[in-house]
């Protein structure tokens, strides 16, 4: 990966957007202004030729229902969480279409009147045709997270990198909110993330990236332009890769 002005550093990227990224400063749900800004950032990188797939989370909706889910059977609660990701996908699809970005949503759970089912080869074909693909419903399995879905889909579509969008500008040795002297890593290995339990993504998703040699870049999606800078090869946030 090298920085060359205007030329994308990656051919195909998997962007993991947490549901919380869509909330802005709201307590739950989708903030339209934030959604539109993220959609326009996605548009800008597709315009320079990056093939972009998105895995979207559901925390913004699902954690608002956490009280109702408490005491529920875990698998049922997790299916509710996956349904929340489908709602977010539809919102992102709508925001992208308003900006004339061609987009398809594919769901790991069948919901065919609304979105396409996940079909790996069809997803790749969409990407090749310049369509953004939004992967909904995580892995389709309870007891997993959308981070694991991002690693899985990233590996399946042959993404060059997994971009993990957060509200923090990288991985720190301690929680930077609680510890102002926390140190940010420029680069770190998968094993170090796991051994130090840095908690940026769950262990299953980091281990899958390690085993498939899919590098991960953790960055702050609330910084306008960072997604584009990364796609142009700039060293933004923290890179997670092999030793």
Query: Least distance to ligand UDP from the beta carbon of 31, Å?
Result: 14
The smaller minimum CB distance to ligand UDP, of residues 152 and 232, is found at 152
Task: Please give the sequence-ordered ranges of beta strands (E in DSSP) within the chain, or none if there are none.
Answer: 12-17, 51-56, 103-107, 116-117, 132-136, 161-166, 187-189, 216-220, 238-241
Q: In the complex, what is the shortest distance from the CB of residue 119 to ligand UDP, in angstroms, rounded to a whole number?
A: 17
Q: Which of 145, 76, 77, 70 is nearest to 108 (CA)?
A: 145
Q: Which is closer to ligand UDP, CB of 64 or CB of 233?
A: 64
Q: Answer left, alpha or beta for residue 213, where phi above 0 means left and psi between -120 and 50 means alpha.
A: left
CB of 141: closest distance to ligand UDP in angstroms? 5
Closest approach, Cβ 83 to ligand UDP, in A, equals 8
Residues forming the site for ligand UDP (CB under 6 A): 18-20, 57-59, 62, 78, 81-82, 84-85, 138-139, 141-142, 144-147, 149
Q: Which is nearer to ligand UDP, 73 or 97 (CB)?
A: 73
Query: Which is closer to ligand UDP, CB of 9 or CB of 56?
Result: 56
Q: Which residues pair with 184 in a beta bridge?
A: 172
Shorter beta-carbon distance to ligand UDP: residue 9 or 227: 227
Asked if residue 22 lies in contact with residue 59, where contact means CB atoms within 8 angstroms, the answer is no
Pairing of strands 103-107, 132-136: parallel
CB 4 within 8 A of CB 61: no
Question: Minimum distance between the CB of residue 47 and ligand UDP, rounded to whole angstroms?
Answer: 26
């Amino acid at each position: 990966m090298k920085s060359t002005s205007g030329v994308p550093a990656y051919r195909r990227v998997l962007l993991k957007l947490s549901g919380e990224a869509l909330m802005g400063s709201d307590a739950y749900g989708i903030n339209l202004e934030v959604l539109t800004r993220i959609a326009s950032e996605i548009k800008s990188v597709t315009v320079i030729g990056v093939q972009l797939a998105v895995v979207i989370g559901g925390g913004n909706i699902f954690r608002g229902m956490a009280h109702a889910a408490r005491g529920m059977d875990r698998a049922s609660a997790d299916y509710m969480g996956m349904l929340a990701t489908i709602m977010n996908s539809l919102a992102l699809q709508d925001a992208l279409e308003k900006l004339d970005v061609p987009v398809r949503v594919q769901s790991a759970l069948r919901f065919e009147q609304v979105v396409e089912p996940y079909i790996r080869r069809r997803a790749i074909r969409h990407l090749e045709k310049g369509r953004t693909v939004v992967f909904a419903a995580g892995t389709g399995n309870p007891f997993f997270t959308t981070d694991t879905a991002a690693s899985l889909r990233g590996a399946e579509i042959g993404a060059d990198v997994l971009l993990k969008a957060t509200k923090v500008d990288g991985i720190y040795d301690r929680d930077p909110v609680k510890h102002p002297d926390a140190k940010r890593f420029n680069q770190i290995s998968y094993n170090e993330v796991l051994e130090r339990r840095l908690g940026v993504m769950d262990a299953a998703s980091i281990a899958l990236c390690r085993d498939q040699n899919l590098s991960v870049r953790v960055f702050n999606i609330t910084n306008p332009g960072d997604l584009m800078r990364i796609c142009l090869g700039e060293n933004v946030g923290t890179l997670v890769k092999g030793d």
